[in-house]
Amino acid sequence: MPSQEVFSWLRTRFFPHIWCPGCGHGIIMHSLLRALVALDKKKSQTVIASGIGCSSRMAGYIDACTVHTTHGRSLAFATGIKLAKPELTVVDVMGDGDCTAIGGNHFIHACRRNIDITAVVMNNNIYGMTGGQASPTTPIGSIASTTPFGAIDPSFDICKLAEGAGASYVARATVANPKQAEQFIMKGIQNKGFSVVEIVTHCHTTFGRKNKRRTPIDNIN
């Protein structure tokens, strides 16, 4: 089923990609591409926006209209693009820090506006690219490089946040079930309104190492 169609959406010259071995972001990218292929989207009519962090690199690997913006601001850029050209399919790929910390304001307001954009939030509970600092979704008690004695602040529930702020499609999947993630992203893109698909993933390199989830498969399990 996938292969050829999915591969045609990749900028294969940049592969193998930058993500660590076993990183969930690649699984999510594959799910997203399968969803786009299944929906018969055209590359030149599809916008993939991203912010900063590991998650943001996804935009560079996908052969479409891709924009790798500033940290947390991708939804604001995406809003401008969608507003100017409503006929485009706009998907915003974000990390948890991108979405709920520095971009928290943009996130809740995109939900409130219910603009027809699909946000794929890759929640790995950590700032991976900068070396494993705590994010707003780091669970209480977890060890991160900036919470050496365990995180003391409560974490965000991204789905509840999105729902409360007014998003019209909210779903949560995990990288352990890539097929379900694909289905949810598909439904999100089909929904005419702001859709949030939180995909729980892992960063075994920086989070798992300190929290007894060292290998990729530990995290999937």
Please give the residue ranges that form the binding site for other proteins (CB under 8 A).
1-4, 6-7, 10-11, 14-17, 19-27, 29-31, 34, 43-45, 47, 59-60, 63-70, 73, 76-85, 87-88, 105-106, 108-109, 175, 178-179, 182, 215-217, 220
Q: Please state, in angstroms and rounded to a whole number, the distance separating the CA atoms of residues 69 and 95.
A: 13
Nearest to other proteins of 44, 190 (CB atom): 44
In residues, how long is the chain?
221
Task: Tell the smallest beta-carbon distance from residue 37 to other proteins (Å).
Answer: 13
Nearest to other proteins of 128, 151 (CB atom): 128
- Structure tokens belonging to residue 133: 């600092």
For 156-196, give the DSSP string.
P-HHHHHHHHT-SEEEEEETT-HHHHHHHHHHHHHSSS-EE
Task: Tell the smallest beta-carbon distance from residue 78 to other proteins (Å).
Answer: 6
Task: Tell the smallest beta-carbon distance from residue 208 to other proteins (Å).
Answer: 12
Cα–Cα–Cα angle for 181, 186, 161, rounded to 5 degrees: 65
Task: Tell the smallest beta-carbon distance from residue 166 to other proteins (Å).
Answer: 13
Nearest to other proteins of 107, 156 (CB atom): 107
Nearest to other proteins of 133, 180 (CB atom): 180
Task: Tell the smallest beta-carbon distance from residue 170 to other proteins (Å).
Answer: 19
Preceding amide of 16 cis, omega within 30: yes
Nearest to other proteins of 151, 185 (CB atom): 185
Q: Please state, in angstroms and rounded to a whole number, the distance separating the CA atoms of residues 118 and 97.
A: 17
Nearest to other proteins of 34, 172 (CB atom): 34
**Within 13 A of 11's CA, how many CA atoms are on the CB side?**
14
Nearest to other proteins of 150, 178 (CB atom): 178
Q: Are 184 and 119 in contact (CB under 8 A)?
A: no
Task: Tell the smallest beta-carbon distance from residue 116 to other proteins (Å).
Answer: 14
Q: Are 56 and 50 in contact (CB under 8 A)?
A: yes
Q: Please state, in angstroms and rounded to a whole number, the distance separating the CA atoms of residues 81 and 90.
A: 8
Task: Tell the smallest beta-carbon distance from residue 16 to other proteins (Å).
Answer: 5
Q: Are 92 and 118 in contact (CB under 8 A)?
A: yes
